[in-house]
Amino acid sequence: GPQDVSNTAWAFARLRERDVPVFRTLSVAGSHGLKRFSTQHVVNTAWAFAMVTFEDRPFLDELWDQALHRVPQFTTQHLSNTAWAMARLLAAHEPLLGALSSAVAQRSPECAPRELANSAWALG
């Protein structure tokens, strides 16, 4: 399920292990159940794919769409991590970039310095 996809991607990314067959399988499995992903699963999966720079555009486009609908629920860390993932993968999902920029600007007093720095780099 969603947690399996997210946790597996996260674990491989933490090890900096860019195993193409594994990430392809995660893309397929993830795209079948993406609507059931929690906000945390969406963000962790985006972070993991970015960490190993695995670019499955169709899957990532679906992931960005899911993230867009969840921006109001994002923590400041979610905002920062998603912006970072998009920048690292050179994602051009304008609606999500705009939503992240607005949310970071509105919530900047809540952001930790690292979150602000990552967001500024990613969205700047």
CA dist., res. 124 & res. 8, Å (int): 31
Q: Which of 104, 99, 107, 96 is nearest to 121 (CA)?
A: 104
> What pLDDT is attached to residue 6?
95
Write down the pLDDT at residue 19. 84
**39 to each of 16, 102, 119, how far by Cα in Å?**
23, 18, 18
**Sites in the chain below the pLDDT cut of 50:** none
Q: Which residues contact 114 (CB under 8 A, 6 or more apart)?
A: 80
**Phi, psi torsion values for 39, nearest 5 degrees:** -55, -45
pLDDT tens readout for residues 36-69: 999 999 999 999 999 999 999 999 999 999 999 9
Q: DSSP readout, 52-102?
A: TT---HHHHHHHHHHHHHHGGG--HHHHHHHHHHHHHTT---HHHHHHHHH
Q: Contact at 8 Å (CB) between 93 and 64?
A: yes
**pTM of the full structure:** 0.93
Per-residue confidence (pLDDT) for residue 1, from 0 to 100: 87
How far apart CA 5 and CA 61 sit, in angstroms, is 17
Percent of the chain with pLDDT over 90: 90
